[in-house]
Amino acid sequence: MPVLIIGTTDLDRDFHPFGISVCSNETEDDFTFIFKNLMKFDSMITIDTLVSDASIAIHNVFRKIFGGNSKLVLCWSHMDRNVVKKLHLVNKSDRNEIIDDIDKLQLSSNKEIFGKAMNPFI
């Protein structure tokens, strides 16, 4: 069963969990339940960014509940695991360089720098 941990980050990028959810499926109904309960904290915290896997269901519901201007960020560890799964499609001699380049992209301080660094990588 999927376990979803809900939390926030501070200015030092430290994660602070404040909720946990266990669901039988990761459906829009599951995420609607979680996000509607988060709305109870809306006066105490700003909810404008979602860090998650690439699930379409979670993205759709987050935007529906928290607005179209909310930010959706792909969880770095989810992305990294998926890249590693696909490395067998690349020459062995290039694999370490690809991983190093991706790791450097992750250090981008903003979206503009990320975009500029991403173009040569692609």
67 and 7 both lie in a single domain: yes
Q: What is the three-state SS of 14-51? A: CEEEEEEEECCCCCHHHHHHHHHHHHHHCCCCCCCEEE
Q: Could you read off the pLDDT of 67-95 as tens digits, one per residue?
A: 878 888 888 888 888 889 999 999 999 99
89 and 103 both lie in a single domain: yes
3-state SS class at 3: strand
70 and 80 both lie in a single domain: no
Domain total in the chain? 2
pLDDT of residue 108: 84
Which stretches of the chain drop beneath a pLDDT of 70? none
Residue 109 sits in which domain range? 76-121
Question: Among residues 54, 74, 94, which one ends one of the domains?
Answer: 74
pLDDT of residue 61: 93
pLDDT of residue 92: 92
pLDDT of residue 54: 85
pTM of the predicted structure, to 2 decimals: 0.69
- Spatial CA neighbour of 20 closest among 47, 2, 39: 2
67 and 106 both lie in a single domain: no
